[in-house]
Amino acid sequence: MYTFSNRLKIASFILMAVGVLGIGIGFMTAPSTVEDAKAMVASHNDGHGDAHVVAQDHDASHYEHLLHQLQNKPWAALYVAALFFMMIALGTLAFYAIQRAAQAGWSPLLFRVMEGISAYLVPGGIIVFIILVLSVAHLNHLFVWMDPEVVANDALIQAKSGYLNGPFFLIRAAIFLAGWILYREYSRKLSLAQDESNDDSNFKLNFRISAGFLVFYLITESIMSWDWIMSVDPHWFSTLFGWYIFAGMFVTGITVIAMVTIYLKSKGYLKDVNNSHIHDLAKFMFGISIFWAYLWFSQFMLIWYANIPEEVTYFVTRIADYKVPFLGMLVLNFVFPLLLLMNSDFKRINWFVIMTGIVILVGHYMNVYVAIMPATVGDQWSIGIPEISSVLFFSGLFIFVVFRSLTKAPLQPKRNPFIEESKHFHY
């Protein structure tokens, strides 16, 4: 049985405590009036903001919009971090279901790790749902289509109001989360029951429900990406977006599986996991990174080449105001994995996989950041206290939930029909 070390537990508590403090500071320092917003922008412009303020004093709506952007900043930072860590767990759950449905012989030794990581889906999903509820309650302005004044003057959003409305939005979110969590909990129950069973009935049932879940997952994941991410830009849409978001959460889930596995091995656990298992995880990290880059380029190329104003504005905004994170994430999510993991031997070197994993996680955090921030805070973005603190808080919560879950059952399944094949797996 795995024992959650006091050092790691204390580290997770410290991360959460520092994160909560910073998140609180972010909310307390957000402007509460238009005058506060003007002063904040002026101070950030190093003294050049006063002329800009005077020049636009006639435009009250401009400053109201600016106030909303600055008030959104701590909310958006919280939302980006909450989404990012929840999607790691969701990507892990998808990978786990694929292994179950495929009856893969190489991966059963890693099932407990996957189950531990996917345990975060419960608290992580609930936190995201609470943020969505607060958005519908108009406690923030993350989703512009939730603002009645905006909708009243926007014919395009009005045309979408049958789908983009608060009650239906929350009903969909509840269905998504309930389905994902229900599968995770039931599959975990069957996995543990199989250890004590005298036959393979639990394994076979797990296979069937995993195959069914993947159909549910592919549909709900796409709709989730439209609802929770794409709808912050309600005038823009992409038919590739669901796959694009899926690729990001899938590769981060696999990356965390590899990193947690390597950590557990370094502490003397998972002794039957060998370099070939790490090699296969690193292959998936490499392959899905290429797949993500393919989708990124396909989405960008088709929209940019078509040059349709209502579509290309998505990329114009990001290139104009978010050039460093927008192009930087392409380097982190494609160039680095390509160079670092192309060599087969490097995929077997633990510290090399960890280093690449850190790069991939940072890159995909930036991916979610660039997807959310332009529509919520405009050009008033920065990586400051709210962003760093939100990442620290959810990092601490993620570590605590995952490693606490790992203590609940033996790390190695006992009666999985493919466990011997997994023990003797060599690439």
The model's pLDDT over 34-44, given as tens digits with 9 standing for 90+, comes to 776 677 777 66
Mean pLDDT of the chain: 91
Tell me the C-alpha distance between 227 and 223, whole Å.
Answer: 6
Residue ranges of alpha helices (H) inside 267-384 are 275-306, 309-321, 323-330, 336-341, 350-377
Q: What is the mean pLDDT of residues 17-45?
A: 82
Give the pLDDT of residue 212.
96
Taking Cα atoms as reference points, which of 403, 420, 404 lies closest to residue 412?
A: 420
Taking Cα atoms as reference points, which of 180, 189, 243 lies closest to residue 214?
A: 180
Tell me the C-alpha distance between 355 and 262, whole Å.
Answer: 12
Side chain identity, residue 108: P
Tell me the C-alpha distance between 270 and 259, whole Å.
Answer: 13
Give the pLDDT of residue 382.
87
Q: What is the mean pLDDT of residues 76-102?
A: 97
Q: What is the mean pLDDT of residues 196-210?
A: 93
Give the pLDDT of residue 69.
81
In the predicted structure, residue 139 carries a pLDDT above the cut 60: yes
Least confident of 157-166, 299-308, 328-337: 299-308
Percent of the chain at pLDDT above 70? 95
The model's pLDDT over 50-73, given as tens digits with 9 standing for 90+, comes to 434 444 444 666 677 777 788 889
Place of tokens 């607060």: 134
Residue with the larger pLDDT of the pair 348 and 256: 256
| Residue ranges covered by each domain of the chain | 6-32+76-404
Residue with the larger pLDDT of the pair 36 and 256: 256
The model's pLDDT over 150-185, given as tens digits with 9 standing for 90+, comes to 898 889 999 999 999 999 999 999 999 999 999 999
pLDDT confidence bin for 306, thresholds 50/70/90: confident
Give the pLDDT of residue 19.
97
Q: What is the mean pLDDT of residues 282-308?
A: 93
Q: Please tell me whether the overall predicted TM-score, pTM, comes out greater than 0.85 for this model.
A: yes
